Amino acid sequence: MAPYTNIPLSPAELSYLHTSLSSTPAIRPDGRRPTDFRTLTAESDILPSANGSARICFADGTEAVVGVKAEIEKSSKSIVRHVAHGEDGQEHSDESKGHGEDAWLQISVDVPGLRDDDALPVFLAAMVSEALLADGELKNRLYINSRFHWRLYVDVLLLSPPLSYPLPLLSLTIHLALLNTRLPALVSQGDEDPLFNDDWAAATPLYPHHNNKNPPITLLVMAVGGNAFYDPSREELAVADAVLAISVTRLQSSSSLQIVSIRTVDPPSRLTASGVPKDLIAGNASANAMEARVRREKDEGMAVWRPPRGGLKRALIAQITKNVLSDGVVNDILDALVKVNG
């Protein structure tokens, strides 16, 4: 992801933030607990002409609108043959409803001031669709019969220029829009040309309410020292040791959670300038450049700010993933979004 280099913080401020975030208990600049989210405004079903739509506004002023549109498309020949083969073969049982293809879901992200083919929008679209396709649930719902399928277009509009990583915003808005999405009810049966009920009130939701299964959401979790934080703000990201983008979905049978994908995100903290120890600048001209560099490398206790290097400890990743599944934050978010949809 294209990094944000314009961090308006000095090495001293960065060091202060890092120290307070890595102390136990951690102190966040806005007084939140590590698991707290900032307030957000969400509304769904804002566009009558789309199959599903949602708008979410985050506390830092970033805002996204998502419109979902579905179109009928003829499946290519290869699928027809594949299905015919499956019907006289043995693997019929769980394949009859499982013929989704990744290409049936198309996501585009529109960021103001950036071109369509810039790195950021393309990367964001790929990352979001990766999570949505990971559990195979969505694409299988787009299957109508062996000759036809739905093509789902998910168009994301960011209304404000991105201040920090807009991934959670996009993911939550897409989640809400997909919950809100309805497809016309099918009247025809089997492999006939599909015919639909033209009554919109009879349309079936893409994710039925009685069914506990939800589209996955992607959250950013930031690690500083031994602490992990949800929903990091821009200032917090500036001192992150590591940032993980974790996609979580809720299983149908029980209400237990499942991680569908994890990615590490290059934090903007790596681009910050490191500080210089006081005794190296205050009139002590004897120290040469070589010595200064050695001193800086050996500065284990982080007396001055130094951009984080290297990766994340494996134990910490394990800890974070375990917490994401068990601490109830994700369940709270999913429940809240279901309530928004009404």
Residues within the interface to other proteins (CB under 8 A): 46-50, 53, 57, 61-63, 65, 67-69, 71, 108, 110, 112, 115-116, 153, 155, 157, 159-160
Nearer to other proteins (CB atom), residue 63 or residue 241: 63
- Alpha-carbon span 232 to 220, nearest angstrom: 7
Cα dihedral 80/85/88/91 (nearest 10): -110
Least distance (Å) between residue 202 CB and other proteins: 20
Q: Measured at the alpha carbon of residue 269, what is the angle toward residues 264 and 17, in degrees to the nearest 5?
A: 115
Collapsing DSSP to helix, strand or coil, 327 comes out as coil
Shortest separation between residue 56's beta carbon and other proteins, angstroms: 12
Minimum distance, C-beta of residue 38 to other proteins, in the bound complex (Å): 12
CA 108 to CA 66: how far, in whole Å?
A: 10
How does strand 105-110 pair with strand 148-158?
A: parallel
Element (H, E) at 246: strand 242-250
Minimum distance from CB of 133 to other proteins (Å)? Answer: 20
Nearest approach in angstroms of CB 225 to other proteins is 32
Given the complex with other proteins, which of 110 and 299 has the nearer CB atom? 110
Residue 301: Cβ within 10 Å count: 6
Q: How far is the CB of 181 from other proteins (least distance, A)?
A: 12
Please state the closest distance from residue 70 (CB atom) to other proteins, in A: 9
CB closer to other proteins, 49 vs 286: 49
Judge contact between 178 and 190, C-beta under 8 A: no
Nearer to other proteins, 25 or 113 (CB): 113
- What's the CA gap between 112 and 256, in Å, rounded? 38
CA–CA gap between residue 98 and residue 96 (Å, rounded):
6
- Smallest distance, other proteins to C-beta of residue 329, A: 24
Strand order in the sheet with 63-74: 40-44, 52-58, 63-74, 148-158, 105-110
Measured CA angle at 153 (ends 148, 158), to 5 deg: 175
Identify the CA nearest to 131 among candidates 316, 258, 1, 317: 258
Nearest to 154 by CA among 140, 136, 175: 175
